[in-house]
């Protein structure tokens, strides 16, 4: 399988890239400045492109079977996620790539009927901008009828850890454990995302993962 990863140099993107390479995929990593990266893998190709330029994205992703977006906006510029999401949707369709899978946010998950995590009292104020941006990006996908898309929202605590292979899958509700905690490692997240690549179960849907 030939896949392209946007944001492959980010904390989560790196883990997804390594998981994809371990499965012997032909991986193309899209980076903003190619000169900063050294290619250490036979199945990896590094291409410079601009996620804010739709035409640049079309040229970079064409010829692949799947696009994975691990794009993360810079702090203070969370709204750029919506710009990039629109570009990715349009570019994927124009490049005739069959499918797009994107990292979502936990903030758009429900913690009670009609109540999203981002709107709850427990949601940290500092995280509101990125939570709202991911919620807006999810709505862009939901309004897209032509593209085969999937969004994977992580648990509330999303950080580097270990691959346990023991996690729960859900759809729109935040997954919490018996202690009321919601967490997932980058490693198990990448595992679940690539499993969805190989065995699609959530076409034109959002799903979530947590312990």
Helix (H) or strand (E) holding 73: none
CATH architecture of residue range(s) 2-210 = 3-Layer(aba) Sandwich (3.40)
Beta strands in the chain (DSSP E): 2-6, 26-31, 44-48, 66-69, 99-103, 110-112, 115-116, 148-153, 157-159, 168-170, 183-185, 205-210
Spell out the domain ranges in the chain.
Answer: 2-210
**pLDDT for 6 beyond 80:** yes
Q: Indicate if the pLDDT at residue 97 is higher than 70.
A: yes
> Tens of pLDDT along 33-45?
776 677 778 889 9
Tokens 């330029």 -> residue:
53
Tens of pLDDT along 116-136? Answer: 999 999 899 999 999 999 999
* pLDDT tens per residue across span 56-70: 999 999 999 999 999
- For residue 164, the model assigns a pLDDT of 96
């Amino acid at each position: 399988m030939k896949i392209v990863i946007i944001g492959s140099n980010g904390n989560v993107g790196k883990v997804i890239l390594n998981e994809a390479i371990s499965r012997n995929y032909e991986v193309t990593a899209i980076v903003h400045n190619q000169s900063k990266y050294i290619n250490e893998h036979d199945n990896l190709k590094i291409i410079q492109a601009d996620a804010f330029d739709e035409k640049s994205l079309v040229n970079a992703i064409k010829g692949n079977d799947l696009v994975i977006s691990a794009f993360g906006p810079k702090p203070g510029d969370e709204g750029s996620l919506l710009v990039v999401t629109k570009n990715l949707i349009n570019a994927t369709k124009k490049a005739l790539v069959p499918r797009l899978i994107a990292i979502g946010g936990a903030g758009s998950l429900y913690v009670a009927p009609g109540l999203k995590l981002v709107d709850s009292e427990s949601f940290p104020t500092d995280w509101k901008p990125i939570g709202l941006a991911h919620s807006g990006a999810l709505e862009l996908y939901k309004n897209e009828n032509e593209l085969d898309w999937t969004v994977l929202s992580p648990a509330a605590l999303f950080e580097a850890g270990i691959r346990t292979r023991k996690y729960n899958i859900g759809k729109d509700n935040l997954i919490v454990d018996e202690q009321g905690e919601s967490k997932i490692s980058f490693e198990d997240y990448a595992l679940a995302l690539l499993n969805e690549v190989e065995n699609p179960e959530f076409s034109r849907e959002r799903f979530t993962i947590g312990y």
